[in-house]
């Protein structure tokens, strides 16, 4: 007992917390927590009465607040009131390393402060504003003075305006997520200077104009998501220089023009989503077999013409292939059946023709995740009693095997989705990867970076994002 008391006294007497630091801290807590009386609840916030969700570090003879996680960041983090505001005293906490505000501004509008960010420039490493629907205003150019910043996450808010070019000054940045806001204008070319960046996510905004070709300078980039904007250029040829990239999502824009030949130089690419763009052109001039690590490929609803390239059948890791809702013509390559990991094949609503050359075993393996309907000149050849692709006619002159009707044959396979045991396990894991993706999105930034790096080294799949537009049930055969 005496020893414990001595240790506590030594701890408290060895360093102090400046009154100015305490008052700034209390002002921030009370402004966010409403009726909270912070000084009574936490008279010694860096000692005997620590605040959940916060941390302190000692610098010289004094203790300073270094971590503030407020709102629904963690279960024990102090919750924000319905009328929470961000007190300007936050900028007096000059040793702050981490500031996370999650679901704090949900009713009363809170304008993002435009000034004083430079006060935190020597210390702040992680800045997160997430799911604050009442957070409005613009991204401050003065944030470009946060020279130590490694993680900038401003997502699921209601912010508007142009993205400031000063973001390019944050040369230590490893994660930049500005998704799910209402930012407009163009992507700042200055982002090319973020050479340590691993994750770039600007999705679900109102950005327009061209994709800066110099984003190809981001040699460390692992994930790029520019989806769900109004970007209007072609895909830059310099993207082929992104040798570390595993995830590229450009879907739901206004991109046009041929796919760049350099695309196949992205040897580490595992997920590629380009759907719902008025691209046009063909896809059969690319040597797709160079992308041996590709798992998900979505080129749907992008006005492609020409043939389906046979080289797609050499991408042995491929699990999801969506070429639906284009104007592709010619035969369906039989080589697609050679893909050992394929779980979903969507070729519906094209101009494909000729006889399908898939075996009954392939139809059984794919089950309801094979979509071929909407190709009026496509037909299938009977190869056994237990198969029939949904929405495809029997080739002329073919006769269904005696003892089983065509409808019974169709329902037997398409309805049940019979697979081999190994395929069942493999594809089940694949189709529930959407749940894994949600867990990934909720990880704190440090764990995300470490996880991404570990997966890159191990050569395993980046967490799938296919749930955003790829819903297997949407294409299932009832």
- Which residues have CB under 8 Å from 6's CB, separation 6+? none
What's the confidence (pLDDT) of residue 37?
85
- Write the secondary structure of 27-85 as one string of H (helix), E (strand) and C (coil): HHHHHHHCCCCHHHHCCCCCCCCCCCCEEEEEECCEEEEEEEEEECCCCCCCCCCCCCC
pLDDT > 70? residue 101 = yes
pLDDT > 50? residue 281 = yes
Rounded CA separation 462/470 (Å): 16
Exposure string for 182-210, b = 16+ CB within 10 A, e = fewer: ebbeebbebbbbbeebbbbbbbbbebbee
What's the confidence (pLDDT) of residue 74?
81
For range 46-67, the mean pLDDT: 93
**Residue in 194, 126, 168, 65 with CA at minimum distance from that of residue 447:** 126
pLDDT bin (cut points 50, 70, 90) of residue 471 is very low
* Mean pLDDT lowest among 59-68, 88-97, 131-140, 448-457: 448-457
Which residues are 330's β-sheet partners? 352
445 or 134, higher pLDDT: 134
Instruction: Answer for the pair 368, 415: CB distance below 8 angstroms, yes or no.
Output: yes
pLDDT bin (cut points 50, 70, 90) of residue 424 is low
Half-sphere exposure of 278 (CA within 13 A, CB side): 5
What's the confidence (pLDDT) of residue 358?
92
**Residue in 320, 286, 290 with CA at minimum distance from that of residue 306:** 286
For range 120-137, the mean pLDDT: 97
What's the confidence (pLDDT) of residue 430?
65
pLDDT in tens, 291-301: 999 999 999 99
pLDDT > 90? residue 236 = yes
For every residue of 324-378, DSSP letters joined together read: -SSEEEEPPPGGGGG-TT--EEE--SSEEEEEE---HHHHHHHGGGEE--S-TEE
What's the confidence (pLDDT) of residue 68?
95
- Residue range(s) of every CATH 3.80.10.10 domain in the chain: 127-259
pLDDT > 70: percent of the chain: 79
pLDDT > 80? residue 81 = yes
pLDDT in tens, 353-412: 999 999 888 998 998 999 999 999 999 987 665 677 899 999 997 765 544 444 434 433
For range 335-342, the mean pLDDT: 96
pLDDT > 50? residue 268 = yes
Reported for 449-458, long-range contacts at CB under 8 A and 24+ positions apart, including other chains, are 449/174, 449/175, 449/198, 449/199, 452/198, 452/199, 452/222, 452/223, 452/246, 453/198, 453/222, 455/246, 456/222, 456/244, 456/246, 456/268
Structure tokens at 453: 């790096």
102 or 466, higher pLDDT: 102
What's the confidence (pLDDT) of residue 418?
35
426 or 108, higher pLDDT: 108
For range 207-235, the mean pLDDT: 98
CATH level 3 topology of 127-259: 3.80.10
Whole-structure pTM value: 0.85
Instruction: Answer for the pair 254, 227: CB distance below 8 angstroms, yes or no.
Output: no
Query: Mean pLDDT over all residues of the chain?
Result: 85
What's the confidence (pLDDT) of residue 7?
34
* Mean pLDDT lowest among 8-22, 206-220, 262-276, 455-469: 455-469
End-to-end CA distance of the chain: 71
Q: Which helix (H) or strand (E) holds 313?
A: none
SS3 8: helix
Chain mean position to CA 57: 33
Q: Which CATH number is 270-373+417-478 given?
A: 3.80.10
What's the confidence (pLDDT) of residue 422?
52
What's the confidence (pLDDT) of residue 162?
98
What's the confidence (pLDDT) of residue 454?
43
What's the confidence (pLDDT) of residue 34?
74
pLDDT in tens, 138-178: 999 999 999 999 999 999 999 999 999 999 999 999 999 99
3 or 89, higher pLDDT: 89
- Which residues have CB under 8 Å from 54's CB, separation 6+? 45, 65, 67, 68, 69
């Amino acid at each position: 007992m005496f020893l414990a008391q001595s240790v506590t006294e030594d701890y408290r007497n060895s360093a102090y917390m400046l009154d100015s630091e305490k008052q700034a801290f209390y002002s921030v807590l009370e402004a966010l927590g409403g009726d909270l009386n912070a000084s009574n609840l936490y008279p010694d916030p860096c000692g005997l009465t620590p605040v959940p969700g916060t941390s302190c570090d000692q610098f010289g003879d004094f203790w300073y607040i270094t971590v503030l996680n407020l709102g629904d960041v963690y279960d024990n983090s102090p919750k924000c009131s319905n009328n929470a505001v961000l007190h300007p005293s936050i900028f007096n906490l000059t040793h702050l390393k981490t500031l996370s505000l999650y679901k704090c501004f949900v009713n009363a509008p809170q304008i993002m402060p435009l000034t004083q960010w430079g006060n935190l420039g020597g210390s702040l490493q992680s800045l997160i504003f997430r799911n604050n629907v009442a957070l409005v205003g613009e991204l401050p150019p003065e944030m470009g003075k946060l020279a130590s910043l490694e993680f900038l996450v401003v997502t699921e808010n209601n912010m508007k305006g142009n993205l400031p070019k000063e973001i390019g000054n944050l040369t230590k940045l490893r994660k930049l997520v500005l998704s799910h806001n209402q930012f407009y204008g163009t992507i700042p070319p200055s982002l090319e200077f973020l050479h340590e960046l691993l994750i770039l996510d600007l999705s679900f905004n109102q950005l327009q104009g061209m994709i800066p070709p110099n984003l190809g300078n981001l040699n460390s980039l692992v994930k790029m998501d520019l989806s769900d904007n109004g970007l209007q250029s072609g895909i830059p040829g310099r993207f082929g220089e992104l040798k570390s990239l595993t995830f590229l999502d450009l879907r739901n824009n206004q991109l046009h023009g041929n796919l760049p030949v350099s695309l196949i130089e992205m040897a580490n690419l595992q997920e590629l989503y380009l759907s719902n763009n008025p691209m046009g052109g063909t896809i059969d001039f690319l040597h797709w077999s160079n992308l041996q690590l590709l798992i998900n490929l979505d080129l749907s609803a992008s006005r492609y013409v020409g043939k389906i390239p046979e080289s797609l059948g050499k991408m042995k890791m491929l699990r999801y292939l969506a070429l639906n809702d284009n104007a592709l013509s010619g035969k369906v390559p039989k080589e697609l059946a050679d893909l050992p990991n394929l779980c979903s094949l969507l070729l519906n609503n094209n101009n494909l023709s000729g006889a399908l050359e898939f075996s009954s075993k392939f139809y059984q393996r794919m089950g309801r995740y094979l979509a071929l309907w909407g190709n009026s000149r496509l037909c299938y050849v009977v190869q056994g009693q237990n198969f029939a692709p949904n929405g495809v006619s029997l080739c002329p002159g073919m006769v269904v095997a005696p003892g089983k009707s065509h409808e019974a044959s169709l329902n037997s396979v398409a309805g049940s989705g019979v697979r081999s045991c190994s395929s069942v396990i493999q594809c089940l894991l694949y189709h529930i990867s959407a749940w894994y993706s949600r867990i990934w999105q909720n990880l704190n930034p440090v764990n995300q970076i470490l996880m991404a790096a570990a997966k890159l080294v191990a050569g395993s799949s980046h967490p799938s994002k296919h749930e955003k537009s790829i819903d297997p049930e949407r294409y299932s055969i009832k």
